[in-house]
Amino acid sequence: MIQKNNTNANPDTPLIILTNNIHRFHEKDFTAEQLQYVKKELKDDKKTVAVNQYDRMVYVCVAGNSKKPIYIQKEEFRKAGHQMASVINKIKAKSVIIRADGLRDEVLCFTEGMALANYQFLKHKSGGKKNSLEVIALQAPKVSEADMQWLNTVVEATCKARDLVNEPVNFLSAVQLSDAFEKMGKEAGFKVKVLHKKDIEKLKMGGLLSVNLGSQDPPTFTVMEYKSPKAKNKKPFVLVGKGVVYDTGGLSLKPTANSMDYMKCDMGGSAAVSCALYAIAKAKLPVHVVALVPATDNRPGEKAYVPGDVITMYSGKTVEVLNTDAEGRLILADALHYAKQFNPSLVMEFSTLTGAASSALGKYAAAFMTTADNQKQAIMKSAENVFERIVEFPLWEEYGELLNSDIADLKNIGGPVAGMITAAKFLENFIDYPYMHFDIAGTAFVHAEDSYRSKGATGYGVRLIADFIKNKSK
Ligand code: BES
Ligand code: ZN
Ligand code: ZN
């Protein structure tokens, strides 16, 4: 929990003095001798200097190389926050004070890094060691109450998304995922409507139903809506997230060794959009936002759909399925068609969609494609603000030709090249509104600790969407 200047703090609460300039920091906390020591250490290019004042620890922490762009400097503060979180947990302190006189964004980023680094997923570990750190108290006059509340909300939402993604499928079926959304709606104040298998059949969502055929568990389609009475946007923003709670590949079983091990992460898009909505609603932003999540697992099974099947999608288009592992686009296509009824000003869709996006960019950025050219600058700006970077790929017509089928309107795979683009081209067949597509296959889940992103689920997308929508609500 992040809170303001805790004047009742115990005298032994560790203090972090944060600065972006080794010559400028709060010096009053030191004796002349200590100060001399700190200054000497900083001259030797140390980033952190620890002073043991016997009753408490004081750390001077320097970050942000002023020769680099602001957004890189901000990221350096988040990373410094991650490092200090381990130091504070090592000394088993319950709370910490961060003091920074003239800084705002830097303190917010440092605190964000610290709070996100403190995340743990201990639910299934008996006797798991819980981090000691619980409270981060800020003594930073330039940080407002509203800044702090927003940060708290966004951190909480990001950790919620991580919890959802880290949860294995034997604890998180499609129905259980929808239950989690209902609970989040109650907590944050947004409406949640869950369409169950009967409803989905009535609507003839052929993509979602086909992918679900091999499963023992029914699919769901969740519609979430938050509409502030003061909404600045007349037409809603619609978020769409891939909710494949587990992806075996279906009958086109995943071919690569161990590639199934982490496929519980295939609902990372749904976690991003639902938890971003959670933050937006909790912060009561003056906006109208809808979030849609088609959910199922993808498995081989007696009734499973097979390569060669032709299926009729919710939109009426027919698709020849040539690989059952390209299932995400099938369930998303139905959701994108469903989105049309909201007359959206913009649809932002997040999905762990292709290995190609992950191969091209690794864990460092999501593959981004859009038809909404006038929104590009705003999303690029948000991506830098929160350091959830995106790289644009083209939606050129020629890539669409790779999806031509001999016997149906489309086939669901485009061949060996440019997989992230052909996937997006497939989805483009189901939209009639300005559209952004984020392929987060490489960023949603990491296999080793990555600074404050932690190991496992990263919560990628929550901070990006939240920042973008917040800017749109101004
Ligand atoms: N869920 C996978 C994509 C994925 C890969 C997510 C790595 C996270 C990490 C998706 O459903 C998939 O299997 N895509 C196939 C598509 C192909 C068969 C056209 C892929 O990328 O190999
Ligand atoms: Zn797949
Ligand atoms: Zn998948």
Ligand that lies nearest to the alpha carbon of residue 296, given by its number in the listed order: 3
The reply to whether ligand 1 has any atom less than 6 angstroms from the CB of 212 is no
**Residue length of the chain:** 474
**Predicted local confidence at residue 6, as pLDDT:** 62
Instruction: Give every CB contact of residue 472 below 8 A, 6+ residues apart in sequence.
Output: 232, 233, 237, 287, 378
- Could you give phi then psi for residue 174, rounded to 5 degrees? -60, -40
Establish whether domains 2-143 and 154-472 are of one fold.
no
The pocket of ion ligand 2, defined by CB under 5 A, consists of 247, 325, 327
Taking CA atoms only, the protein residue closest to ligand 1 atom 17 is 326
The number of the ligand 1 atom at minimal distance from the alpha carbon of 423 is: 19
**Predicted local confidence at residue 8, as pLDDT:** 63
**Predicted local confidence at residue 24, as pLDDT:** 82
The residues assigned a catalytic role are 254, 329
Domain over 2-143 is classified CATH 3.40.220.10: yes
Ligand 1, pocket-test mutation among 211, 327, 329, 353, most atoms within 8 A of CB: 353
Between the CA of residue 266 and those of 110, 163, 183, 301, what are the distances in Å?
30, 13, 21, 19
The reply to whether ligand 1 has any atom less than 6 angstroms from the CB of 441 is yes
**Predicted local confidence at residue 377, as pLDDT:** 98
Tokens standing for residue 201: 């059949």
pLDDT-flagged residues of the chain (< 50): none
The reply to whether ligand 1 has any atom less than 6 angstroms from the CB of 355 is yes
- Could you give phi then psi for residue 29, rounded to 5 degrees? -80, 0
Q: Smallest Cα–Cα separation from 438: which of 325, 361, 324?
A: 361
**Ligand 1 center from residue 246 Cα (angstroms):** 12
Q: Which CATH number fits domain 154-472: 2.60.40.420, 3.40.50.150, 3.40.630.30, 3.40.630.10?
A: 3.40.630.10
**Predicted local confidence at residue 7, as pLDDT:** 62
In the chain, domain spans: 2-143, 154-472
The reply to whether ligand 1 has any atom less than 6 angstroms from the CB of 266 is yes
The residue whose two tokens read 């086109």 is 252
Instruction: Give every CB contact of residue 430 below 8 A, 6+ residues apart in sequence.
Output: 313, 315, 317, 333, 334, 336, 337
Q: Rounded to an integer, what is the distance from CA 94 to the centroid of its chain?
A: 27
What is the SS3 assignment for 441? coil
The reply to whether ligand 1 has any atom less than 6 angstroms from the CB of 323 is yes
Torsion of CA 462, 88, 60, 449, to 10 degrees: -50
The reply to whether ligand 1 has any atom less than 6 angstroms from the CB of 439 is no
What is the SS3 assignment for 212? helix
**Ligand 1 center from residue 403 Cα (angstroms):** 17
Taking the C-alpha atoms of residue 422 and residue 41, their distance in angstroms, rounded to an integer, is 54
Q: Smallest Cα–Cα separation from 2: which of 130, 139, 126?
A: 139
